[in-house]
Amino acid sequence: MSLAIVIPVYKIEFLEEALKSIANQTCKDFTLYIGDDCSPHDIKKVVEKFERELNIVFKRFDTNLGGQDLVAQWERCIDLVGQEDWIWLFSDDDIMAEACVEKFYEALEETSHRSYLYHFNIQTIGEHGEILKRLPQFPKQLTSLEFFKKRSSNELISFVVEFIFNKEVFLKKGRFQNFDLAWASDHATWIKLAENNLIYTIDDALVYWRKSTFNISPNTRNIKMATRKINASRAYYLWVWQFFDDISKKLLIKSFLNNIKEYNQIVPWHDFKANITLFMNQIGSNYSSLALVYMYIHRLYKKVKSN
């Protein structure tokens, strides 16, 4: 049972630090696959510094795909993977603790090589590697529905880079769930990969997710970007509604509104309202519920504007 670490690369600012954390692993039983998304930077020059330490497969793509479809870029990098059974989709700016790979193999033994979705707890770091926030720890085991509930309420925080998944299950389940900007694509994918299974958190090793000006997430002031994120969020929660047979409309509506409310100070009210209306209609909510939602959002919208 072998591991493929896959890094879709475009940014160069923190790439060397990311690769150094991989080269420092106490267990090097893995292949590192790097897909250069036609970056304007000399990615190959940085990668070459680690060729003696790591088993690296490097591919520079002729076209930039991540700018139009980030999930498609993830997947063409994953398609570079050879015979490995497990895939860890990492990033070009985050860091893994030196025992991560070793602890992953130990977890496989502990769980008798079951096709769990394996997970590391995370901490947030800044541009200079400083700890910004200690995020809540996952329980040892988590069901798919529990993950959705806790993630949507922000009881738990997760990103793409702290999950290791089984390649066979990933392909069988239809690969990544694709939403615009890859917004919540990872959440939906983890939900379906953990279906009839569990998310298993690996103790004693952390992943450090870097918050910087180079992330997509901070771009909340742009109307066009905020609108795309609202649309993607609506698509995600509609997908959740179709995925789970017994999820309540009340929970779904509350989660959706909580997820998009930060954009009501950016997106015009009529566009904001139109998205809510469409979502409520798509899940079959009644008009009385819709009216209450409008009242809540309109009050929130005016309150933010008055500030």
146-194 pLDDT per residue, tens: 999 999 988 999 999 999 999 999 999 999 999 999 999 999 999 999 9
Residue 6 is predicted with a pLDDT of: 98
Contacts by 249-258 with C-beta closer than 8 Å and gap 24+? 249/283, 249/284, 249/285, 249/289, 251/149, 252/283, 253/279, 253/280, 253/283, 253/285, 253/289, 253/293, 255/152, 255/153, 257/293, 257/296, 257/297, 258/152, 258/153, 258/154
Where does the pLDDT of residue 305 fall: very low under 50, low under 70, confident under 90, or very high at 90 and above? very low
16-26 pLDDT per residue, tens: 999 999 999 99
Q: What domains appear along the chain, each with residue ranges and CATH number?
A: 3-210 (3.90.550.10), 223-306 (no CATH)
Q: Are 101 and 32 in contact (CB under 8 A)?
A: no
Residue 307 is predicted with a pLDDT of: 42
- The tokens describing 213, both together, are 């000006």
The letter for the amino acid at 164 is I
Please count the other Cβ atoms lying within 10 Å of the Cβ belonging to residue 136: 12
105-132 pLDDT per residue, tens: 999 999 988 878 999 999 999 999 999 9
As a whole number of angstroms, the distance between CA 244 and CA 261 comes to: 24
Contacts by 303-307 with C-beta closer than 8 Å and gap 24+? 304/264, 304/265, 305/265
As a whole number of angstroms, the distance between CA 13 and CA 272 comes to: 36
As a whole number of angstroms, the distance between CA 202 and CA 219 comes to: 32
Residue 306 is predicted with a pLDDT of: 46
Q: What angle do CA 204, 215, 232 make, to 5 degrees?
A: 100
221 or 61, higher pLDDT:
61
- Four-CA torsion 49, 52, 56, 57, nearest 10 degrees: 90
Residue 123 is predicted with a pLDDT of: 95
Closest CA to 104 of 82, 124, 122, 119: 119
- The model's pTM is 0.90
Alpha-carbon distances, residue 211 vs 45, 89, 123, 263 (angstroms): 25, 18, 10, 20
